[in-house]
Amino acid sequence: MSPLSGGSDTRGEVNIFRAIAGAVRKGGSLVLAWALAAQAPAQSTDGGIMRPVADMFQPLSRPAEMIHESAVLVLMITAAIFVVVTAMLVFVVWKFRRKGPEDDREEPPQIYGSTHIELAWTVIPILITFVLILVTSRTIGEIQNAKMPEDALKIRLVGHQWWWEVHYPDLGIITANEIHVPVSTRTGKPRPTEIILESADVIHSFWVPQLAGKTDLVPNKRNRTWIEPFATGTFFGNCAEYCGTQHANMLIRVIVEEPADFDKWAANMQRAPGVPAEGLAAQGHRDFYGNSCVSCHRVDGTVAEGVFGPDLTKLMTRQTIGAGVAPLTPENLRAWVRDPQSLKTGCLMPDMKLLDSEVDSITAYLLTLK
Amino acid sequence: MSTAAAPSTDWKLPSTRKVAVISLILTESALFTIFLVAYLFYMGKSLNPPYPAQVLEFPLLATIALLSSSITIVISERALHAGKKGAFHLWWAITIALGAYFLWFTAMEWKHLIFERDLTLATNVFGTTFYSLVGLHASHVIIGLFLLTLVLVLSLLGKVPADHTEHLEMISWYWHFVDVIWIVVVTVVYIISTRIT
Amino acid sequence: MNPDTFDPNFKIPAPERIGDERGSLTRLVQEMVFTVDHKRLGLMYIGSGLLFFVIAGIMAAMIRIQLAVPRNDFLEPDVFNRLFTMHGTAMVFLVGMPIIFGFANYLVPLMIGARDMAFPRLNAFGFWVFFFSGLLLYFSYLGAPGLYAAGSAPDVGWFAYSPLTAKAFSRGHSTDYWTLSLLMGGIGSLVTSINIIVTTLCLRCKGMILGRMPLFVWLFLVVAFLVIIAIPPLSACQIMLILDRYFGAKFFDTQAGGSAVLWQHFFWIFGHPEVYILILPGFAIASEVIPVFSRKPIFGYPVMVAASVMIAFISLGVWAHHMFSVGMTSIGNTFFAISTLLVAIPTGIKIFNWIGTMYGGKLRFELPMLFCIGFLFQFLIAGLTGVMLAIAPFDWQLTDSYFVVAHFHYVLIGGLLFTIFAGIYYWYPKALGKMPDFRLGLCHFILFTVGFHITFFPQHIAGFLGMPRRIYTYDTGRGWDAWNLISTIGVIFQAAGILFFVVNLIYSYIWGKKAGDDPWDAWSLEWSTTSPPPSYNFETIPEVRSRRPLWDLKHPDDPDWKYE
């Protein structure tokens, strides 16, 4: 038997086990860090509790909870399999390591296989798979085939590069990038919200993890999803299908409110803001029409009927600008009006090359849209 | 390297050429399947005319020609096996002629569809899937005809050795494959889709 | 040859090192360009693959630097989007595919006792087509801007969903470079796979029935069949995309009634088998290395063959698990969830068989074995996260998030790349005649393993916390900051590991200990010839009676053929 060349010795083996021990220590502290990351969310004035950490393991809506149930079960099963198989591997690596030159004298027993053992480790995975198949089928049906009550709130989302067009067809509301829904209740009559998903250009995906799994917005296809939140607050979501340059900044917020607050919001949204009579804002209103803003934007109650860009009727009721690229403050609004490319490079609103005075006035006008 | 007690049996393995051509046929079948699926998927989904029933006529003569060419190529090969070089060349040439007729017919049909019936690749999803599927098949007929012609020319020049019958058989397998694809295409496109849409 | 005068110890002298007997650089280049020798081509495939690996790896490092902190401005969004597209495309088509074909090319003829592949010139053609497809893809950085500076490298993601790839949304020629490069590369893959099939079925040496082929050869036979079935859908996609972009076709034109989802179906009918095409060679390498370094035959050879064939079949029917969020019916989603869960069974069985091979053995922790043990642990994790993704409702949260990114990097790096390292260290002495240095290799192993886990494990958590993939930046406060920073730090260790790897390859070639024919005391036919083998591989074509012909020779009193 030819002796092995290339430096096989005990040095290599000791290093391996030290490395493994180190990894276990590392793993423990990481789990702790994760637990800390899911901290208590911050408060805010509008939108209630801000929930920026969209942890799918903190579901706050019925479809997300259904997913969570199966997810936890699957995690437990796979964790158990992981522990068992890793233990097998560690055991084998430790127990059957070559202990020294005396082990080279003869080869170990040459076992070719064992039908019994093969059967055992085939049957057990089949059984586990069977359980998983049952769980999966049930949850798929529960979520996809859920019946919405007749009077469920309907929202229609149309995806654009890189913003969300929002319609409430029954309420006559058109807005962008944020949706408000009433909170549901576990006791009493459920108040789910049905969301129709369409796209005006490429494929996008609606993903607000704490409220539901993701569903794509596909052009020439009408998809449907639903949420039923049980807690109020502002839920954060992202577009989850790569859609071009600013996919990263196509964020969506879902603001869940008590039914009374929701009704107040809806009523306000249905009321068109007036046209400012005097001052810089009035000048801005004129400049808004003097430049080609109306080609792309709509302001209810005026002749601006553009549909290429977001509806601006109730711009100031929103928390962010540019579909989440920055908070909606007067400074950021001004920066956007001056040159949107500075905040969201590559977005489809070009630099309109406005004069400074126009930037000031149009910003003043937009600040009245609430 | 051989162990002394090894039993000496006949070691017969398949011919490399046959396995290669079968693999080629498998892979081309996968390609055609995708274009076929695209055609089936889009049946009835065109937003504007023309639609299959309006513009497609069953290509009877072309189909007879192409399918007959599978028969003539077999006759040609049999002649070669029997040592009748003259008959081999004749039937091989007839095969080429039948294939060429098929292509000419396809060209005429396309000319009619494009210039007189306003159906192009860009007209609607029917046009897209029709031309891509039939065109993919036609391109394979062209390749086949090129190979067949090459063989005929080389053979007439006396450059095809007597023991190259398997090479010719492989080319004929390719040709049969092209024919089988046509049977599927003509059924789906000219029989099924003209009835459904 | 008269058996009475036949001297079994006689060996025809072989060149000591590749290129040694030639002398000049010009001759070396000329040889590379004109060679049809499967061994040379194999090394060229692996060498090119490793070169593209370093380039695509640098791209990944840049991506991680951009994502290390929120709202980073290291990269412009367009640059970032091109980087992740090129990284993914290159890693799959210019690193994964060529390296696995390189291994097949080098080893399959040797393992079956043949002198070369069935079609050597076709083999060379396949290599050069792949190589030029790689150059074409990277040329997009220079060539795509065109007259109107519209475009650069492709930026549509490695699976290029429509209608993002339509002319309207991908102006310029960047997408076209992607399309043409993959179309060319596909031809190379098809041609090489046909070669593998024909070689395996038609050129085996006497006595090597299919049931006596090394598992490596079996797995590559299965891979080759998968390639010839799965690559045509990709080629069809590319043809359809070209027709859409340049001839007004309506395959994916949603305004004309076309379907965006159809691209996804066709692409993933290719794409899912593709990932099995990538990982099965990893299984092939593991199935050769683990038995030798456990000093036992593979546990359950027939079941391993059956499981591999089953994996290949089932993998053709799971593709829409990449599309769970696209809006299929509940029946569609359920069907694909079930088929995906089913494919986990034969895959899991293989892990047990490898552990079963190690059980009762005398394990030697040489470099190839270290990487295989890493492979087993990491592939286990990858497989389990795959099971999570198979559960469609769970997938509705996990798909298109960093969880998936973590999953497939555990498969492709933790699984495939680790076995590639194992294979390179294992067959390095055979191909180059020198032993790889153990200490350098151990540094490579430790640094790379540590770095790999530091980079990719936290990405599972980022996915759980809602981080989508393919975003060039993110806001603070989403809970992603720490995980991204940790993930980036891991890159340093991985880079250091790769550095040790490259240094080892070069160092060992120049100063490594000379390897004999059979340094690892192995059992398959490639170890019966010289290191490196002569261009004709074997002095005489061997004849075999069992799955381990060299075991039979070394143990004439206890040969395998008595038990098989």
pLDDT in tens, A13-31: 444 445 555 555 555 555 5
Test B19 with C201 for CB contact under 8 angstroms.
yes
- The answer to whether A345 faces chain C, any CB pair under 8 Å, is yes
Q: How many structural domains is chain A composed of?
A: 1
Q: What's the confidence (pLDDT) of residue A46?
A: 67
- Nearest CA of chain C to the CA of A280: how many Å? 34
* Nearest chain C Cα distance for residue A320, angstroms: 13
Beta-sheet pairing, A50-51 with A193-199? unpaired
Contact C360 A144 (CB under 8 A): no
C257 C-beta neighbours (distance < 10 Å), count: 17
What secondary structure letter does DSSP report for C256? G
Q: Neighbouring chains of A at 3+ CB pairs within 8 Å?
A: C
Is B touching A (3+ C-beta pairs, cut-off 8 A)?
A: no
What is the three-class DSSP state of A330? helix
Between C8, C229, C251, which is nearest B38 by CB?
A: C251
**Cβ–Cβ under 8 Å, residues C137 and C89:** yes
pLDDT tops 50 at residue A40: no
A76 φ, ψ (degrees, to nearest 5): -65, -45
Mean pLDDT of C87-107: 98
Torsion, CA A305, CA A306, CA A307, CA A309, rounded to 10? -130
DSSP assignment of C192-235: HHHHHHHHHHH-PPBT--GGGS-HHHHHHHHHHHHHHHHHHHHH
Q: What's the pLDDT at B4?
A: 43
Measured between CB atoms, which of C202, C248, C257 is closest to B45?
C257
Q: How far is the alpha carbon of C196 from chain B, nearest alpha carbon, in Å?
A: 10
User: Cα(C409)–Cα(A318) distance, rounded to whole angstroms?
Assistant: 39
- Write out the two tokens for A113: 């296989």
Q: Is the pLDDT of residue A8 over 60?
A: no
Cβ-nearest to C232 among B19, B31, B45: B31
Residues in chain A: 370
Chain C residues near residue A104 by CB distance under 8 angstroms: 362
**Chain B interface includes C197 (CB < 8 A):** yes
pLDDT recorded at residue B7: 46
| Domain assignment of residue A176, yes or no | no
Give the tokens for residue A75.
Answer: 């995690």
- Between A20 and C128, residue with greater pLDDT: C128
* B190: in domain: yes
Q: Is the pTM value of this prediction over 0.90?
A: yes
Q: CATH class for domain C18-146+158-562?
A: mainly alpha
The amino acid occupying position C253 is D
Domain span at B142: 31-42+52-196
Which residue is closest to C553 within chain A, CA to CA?
A1
* B68 at interface of C, judged by CB pairs closer than 8 A: no
On chain B, the residues whose CB falls within 8 A of the CB of C197 are 19-20, 23
Q: What band does A290 get if pLDDT is binned at 50, 70 and 90?
A: confident
- pLDDT tens, per residue, chain B with 197 residues: 444 444 456 889 999 999 999 999 999 999 999 999 999 999 999 999 999 999 999 999 999 999 999 999 999 999 998 889 999 999 999 999 999 999 999 999 999 999 999 999 999 999 999 999 999 999 999 999 999 999 999 999 998 887 788 999 999 999 999 999 999 999 999 999 999 87
Domain of residue A309, residue span: 279-366
C228–chain B Cβ distance below 8 A for any pair:
yes
The beta-carbon neighbor of C468 closest among A57, A118, A240 is A240
User: Where on the phi/psi map is residue A369: left (φ > 0), alpha (ψ -120 to 50), or beta?
Assistant: beta
Is C262:B38 a contact under the CB 8 Å cutoff? yes
Ramachandran region of residue C43, left (φ > 0), alpha (ψ -120 to 50) or beta? alpha
Partner-chain contact A214 C388, CB within 8 Å: no
**pLDDT tens figures, A92-148:** 999 999 988 888 888 999 999 999 999 999 999 999 999 999 999 999 999 999 999
Instruction: Tell me which residue in C76, C330, C554 faces A140 most closely, judged by beta carbons.
Output: C330
To the nearest whole Å, the CA of B27 is away from the closest chain C CA by 5
Sequence-ordered strand ranges (E) for C414-555: none
pLDDT (average), residues C304-325: 97
3-state helix, strand, coil in chain A (%, to 5): 40, 20, 40
Share of chain A above pLDDT 70, in %: 88
Q: Which CATH number do you get for residue B97? A: 1.20.120.80
- Which whole-number Å values give the CA distances from B159 to B147, B163, C373, in the listed order? 15, 12, 58
Q: Which residue of A has its CA nearest to C334?
A: A137
Strands A251-257 and A178-182: parallel
Neighbours of C17 (CB within 10 A): 15
- C320-332 confidence digits (pLDDT tens): 999 999 999 999 9
- Which H/E stretch holds residue C40? helix C38-67
Whose tokens are 């064992």? That residue is A114
**How are beta strands A50-51 and A251-257 bridged, if at all?**
unpaired
B neighbours by CB contacts (3+ pairs under 8 Å): C
What is the model's pLDDT at position C146?
62
Q: Could you tell me if residue A291 is inside a domain?
A: yes
Reading the block at residue C209, the tokens are 């029935």
Structure confidence by residue, pLDDT tens digits, C347-382: 999 999 999 999 999 999 999 999 999 999 999 999
| Residue of chain B nearest C118, judged by CA positions | B16
B8 within domain boundaries: no
What is the count of structural domains for chain B?
1
Q: Is residue B13 part of a domain?
A: no
Residue B5 has what pLDDT?
43
Q: How many CB atoms are located within 10 Å of the residue C224 CB?
A: 27
- Are A82 and C384 within 8 A, CB to CB? yes
Q: Is B16 on the interface with C (CB under 8 A)?
A: yes
A3 backbone φψ class: left, alpha, beta (φ>0; ψ -120 to 50) = beta
Residue in A191, A195, A206, A127 with CA at minimum distance from that of residue A160: A206
C-beta atoms of C453 and A23 within 8 A: yes
Q: Give the residue among A108, A97, A100, A104 at the shortest CA–CA distance from A17.
A: A97
Tokens of A297: 């934007």
Contact of C377 with A89, CB cutoff 8 Å:
yes
Model confidence over C232-277: pLDDT tens digits?
999 999 999 999 999 999 999 998 999 999 999 999 999 999 999 9
Distance from CA of C256 to the nearest CA of B (A): 7
Tokens of A7: 């430096």
β A251-257/A233-239 pair status: antiparallel
C209/B contact by beta carbon, under 8 A: no
CATH number of the domain enclosing A321: 2.60.40.420
Q: Residue A3: what pLDDT? A: 38
- Residue of B32, B34, B48 best to disrupt the C interface, most CBs of C under 10 A: B34
What is the rounded CA–CA span in Å between residue C290 and residue C358?
7
Give the CA radius of gyration of chain B.
Answer: 21
C187 at the B interface (CB within 8 A)? Answer: no
Using a pLDDT cut of 90, give the percent of chain C over it: 90
Q: Which of C119, C187, C228, C558 to mutate to test the interface with B (most CBs of B within 10 A)?
A: C228
Burial A264-303 (b: 16+ CB within 10 A, else e): ebbeebeeebeebeeebbbbbbebbeeeebbebbbbbebe
For residue A113, give the nearest of C300, C351, C435 by CB distance: C300
Task: Kindly state whether A341 is in contact with chain C, defined as any CB-CB distance less than 8 angstroms.
Answer: no
> To the nearest whole angstrom, how far is the Cα of C369 from the nearest Cα of chain B?
28
Identify the closest residue of chain C to B17 by CA–CA distance: C198
What count of other Cβ atoms lies within 10 Å of the Cβ of residue A77? 17
Q: Determine the Cα–Cα distance for residues A161 and A199; give it in Å rounded to an integer.
A: 9
Q: What is the pLDDT of residue C4?
A: 58
Instruction: Give ipTM to 2 decimals.
Output: 0.93
Instruction: Enumerate the residues of chain B whose CB falls inside 8 A of the CB of residue C249.
Output: 121-122, 128, 132
Does B16 sit within 8 Å of C250, measured CB to CB?
no
* Chain A / chain C CB contacts < 8 angstroms: 344
Instruction: Please tell me which residue, C184 or A40, carries the higher pLDDT value.
Output: C184
| Spatial separation of the C-alpha atoms in residues B9 and B20, rounded to whole Å | 26
Closest approach of A201 to chain C, Cα-based (Å): 7
Tokens of C321: 């698990």
Is A347 part of any domain?
Answer: yes
Which pair of structure tokens corresponds to residue C243? Answer: 């027709």
Residue of B16, B27, B127 lying closest to C202 (CB–CB):
B16
Identify whether A93 is part of a domain: no
Mutation for A interface: C324, C325, C562, most A CBs within 10 A:
C325
The Cα C233–Cα C431 span in angstroms is 35
